[in-house]
Structure 1
Amino acid sequence: MEKILVTGANGQLGSELAVLSLNYPQYEWIFADRTKITLNDLEALQIQLEEIKPNIIFNCGAYTAVDKAETEKEIAFKINHLAVELIAKYTFENNAKLIHISTDYVFDGSSSIALNEEEETNPINVYGASKRDGEIACLKVNPKSIIIRTSWVYSKFGNNFVKTMQRLMQEREAINVVNDQIGSPTYAADLAQTMIDILEFPEWIAGIYNYSNEGEISWYEFALAIKELGGYNCNVGGIPSVSYPTPAKRPEFSLLDKKKIKNTYNLDIPHYKESLEKMFV
């Protein structure tokens, strides 16, 4: 029986994979939180991988505190770059499969059309730079790896934009949301299923792929969709990013072109509103 190791088990994607794993008993699933897999201690990580001996790794663990990364650069790069390099090295040396999750933040946001996998990367914050270095190291050490770039992830599990909006819209009479950052949300349950579909696909086709739900929206428009589905009375206003300064810059435009993953794996990707409805059920 093949053994799948899922890092970041308590995160949004790891939690959704745990739900789906019940449908795939042909694998031995190992869901590793920080106590089982220590991404910020490379010596410990090496020992842990050798003890677990996975045949497949879904690397969902990451340093994702975008603003804190600006002042915690060393730990961000250790987890998002050096740990990824070590995991890729393990999979290469042990002929194991690796699906590694990356981000739209590898781009600078200066585009006006959907970004494909060949687009030039140019991160504008520490988090994005650490994730891009992780991508480069991953493919250099193990060219057979699959990397999935995703954006605006949300889920019933963990902390995310949707859950924050649900809470604020019930607590406040009015909120403001930035209206000049454009992209598309990703329902973690959809991405988790896609990862399993790729694993189950007859052929292993390495490389970088983009994945998010369909649709092109701003965070403000996303908030309006949440308001509508939740039936909240809160007044939602749109504001420019300059009115909501953050320690880390965000890409203004990071809509991902998903033709490659759809054509390669014959995927039907749901529209963001369809997936958002699933979370509200």
Structure 2
Amino acid sequence: MVSDAVGAGEGAALRARAVGKTFAATEGARVVALDRVALDVGAGELVSLVGPSGCGKSTLLRLVAGLDLPTEGELWVGSELITGPSAERGVVFQDPSLFPWLTIRRNIESGLVARGVLRSQRHEVDEYLRLVGLEGFANSYPHQLSGGMAQRAALARALINHPRVLLLDEPLGALDQFTRMRMQDEILRMWQARGTTMLLVTHDIDEALYLSDRIAVMTPRPGRIDRILDVDLPRPRQRNDRRFLEHRARLLELLHLTGGIEEPLAPGV
């Protein structure tokens, strides 16, 4: 495990203030994906975004990552206004997106290479390989790993840059249920070891309840934060516990009230 001295408690607060995002559609029409989104995530907090497909969850995550810019409003990490990508905001997508021609060690090193700090931080690579349980696969290539192992490598590649905020866009969506549950425990373990602020997009209600301090429920497009559910359950959480099931019922009720469970699929928004 990475020692407490190596960046533990690195998380930073995240703030969204009246954030809107509009996209151009066909024949000059405009699509409002997000409308005056307001959200506060505390330093070191793990918050999930849930809501119907097409409500703008991934769009909001991309704005926080700096991969796109809001049409209106502002996003802040700590005292820094987000105006573009930064190594202080790591992103892990559903597809691990590892470089197939590089070994797992080289993949994890790639962020350090891009930042020009490989020489000074090379010693951390072995620590992060141990953190995600891949020390025996450092010289393997991505095609030689299972989906869960590849996603662990992607998490290590993001975490080695010591991001103040880690953004997770359905990172476990392509995994089988057994591997997904194991990876949820891995994410919790890494989050507790690092103290990194995490914002997770998921369609899995149980996953959100199992991982999160709070869950932000979004409305159908145009996406807004309709309400926030505090998950006041001790960890480790038991999915068959009475209070867990009560929270699950409450979250399903909130999604029903937003109209979320009736929303048709709209991939890519």
Q: TM-score, normalised by structure 2?
A: 0.27
Q: TM-score, normalised by structure 1?
A: 0.26
**Which structure shows the bigger proportion of residues in helix conformation?**
1
Q: Which gives a bigger RCO, structure 1 or 2 (Cα 8 Å, sep 6+)?
A: 2
Q: Which has the higher strand share?
A: 2
